[in-house]
Structure 1
């Protein structure tokens, strides 16, 4: 896929996310998370910190997709800026003495992000466990998967998930409970295979 095609696809997904389309959000995450994680990891040097920053960044992207302005930046540049800011915030929280030459660093990272070649982090990103979980998640019904993703990937309470999905809290609790049971069964089958 060319950079122009990718930018067109990402712009379309961001527009849908701005309308609170959770399926588009999942597609946006799938298309960009590996590169954005690699970017966060280059700044933070610790996997757990990079994972936390990636999660915070995607919450920010979900909440602010409507403010994306395609005339100001390419979609990946806009999302990278969010990750960069979250990563620098994390560095400040972890160690107030960190100094980074942001201009040089940003140039190197942007060149790496614009490359379409797969990176080593792309290969490591999906461990066997992650692949199994992704497979089992993909087998859940869309809204059940969405409820679980909001609760666990975005750390929302059941009532917050209900509010996001515009559903009764009882329905959300049932979907999450049933979804987790199905995930457990699916993962057990895969382990036994």
Structure 2
């Protein structure tokens, strides 16, 4: 097993352990989960919501849900980061729908947005992980690849995708579910 695989395996084990501790009411464990995952989950929320303030609100709701639902996490069904990313994605989509169409920000408002750029090390890690995800997405059937990208990157719901592709909702859910299982297997190699 190479160093990258070993580190990923240890990271997964640490998150599984921390989530178990969170389910037992450990605040330090929740802080550890937040420290390890908040940048990635914030990125998901920003991608879907397009606004840092709304993404921060969604992220806060995600960790509140983690506090309440950590006992439902099953490491046999999903990796901890997949479980957390799904929660973040769903919360951001719910928030986006609740907000409805919003007026575009003016240029003056845009100037007040702080630069939330990540540092060089984080950029390298994100690029490496992004490369692994891209390779694994490339191994999927084209329809699964497109459906997963539209769901996770564009924030489209299963029903929106089913309508767009003119397939039954159950079919779309199956495509995405099978694709995510193959994606998870690929990323765990």
TM range (shorter): 0.5 to 0.7
Structure 2 Cα separation of the partners of residues 77 and 31 of structure 1 = 13
Matches within 5 A, 1:26-41: 26-41=31-46
* 2:98 aligned with 1:93: yes
Aligned to 2:148: 103
Task: Confirm whether residue 62 of structure 1 aligns to residue 67 of structure 2.
Answer: yes
Q: 1:43 and 2:48 equivalent? A: yes
Alpha-carbon distance in structure 1 between the residues aligned to 2:74 and 2:31: 21
Offset of residue 96 of structure 1: 6.7
Cα 1:107–1:45 shift into 2, 3 Å: closer
Deviation at 1:39, TM superposition (A): 1.1
Deviations, residues 99-122 of structure 1 (Å, cap 9, x unaligned): xx86323465999xxx9xxxxxxx
TM-score normalised over the length of structure 1: 0.52
Aligned pairs (5 A) from 1:15-26: 15-26=20-31
Question: Match of 1:80, SS?
Answer: helix
After TM superposition, the runs of 4+ consecutive aligned structure 1 residues lying more than 4 A away are 106-111
Q: CA 1:102 to 1:92, structure 2 compared with 1: closer, same or farther past 3 Å?
A: farther
TM-score by length of 2: 0.53
Q: Deviations over 1:76-109 (max 9, x none)?
A: 0001111111001011101179xxx863234659
Residue 69 of structure 1 aligns to a residue whose secondary structure is: coil
Equivalenced residues, count:
110
Question: Aligned-residue CA RMSD in angstroms?
Answer: 2.7
5+ residue gaps, structure 2, are 103-145, 155-179
Write the distance in 2 (CA, Å) between the matches of 1:38 and 1:107.
11
Check if 1:4 corresponds to 2:9: yes
SS, match of residue 77 in structure 2: coil
Q: Distance in 2 between matches of 1:80 and 1:21?
A: 21
Q: Does 1:14 align with 2:19?
A: yes
Q: What per-residue deviation string (whole Å, max 9, x for no partner) do you get for residues 147-171 of structure 1? A: xxxxxxxxxxxxxxxxxxxxxxxxx
Q: Which runs of 5+ in 1 are unaligned?
A: 116-193
CA distance in 2, matches of 1:57, 1:33: 10
Rounded to whole Å, the distance in 2 between the matches of 1:19 and 1:46 is: 34
The answer to whether the Cα contact below 8 Å between 2:89 and 2:152 also exists between their aligned partners in 1 is no
Matched residue, 2:78: 73
Q: Distance in 2 between matches of 1:66 and 1:89?
A: 23
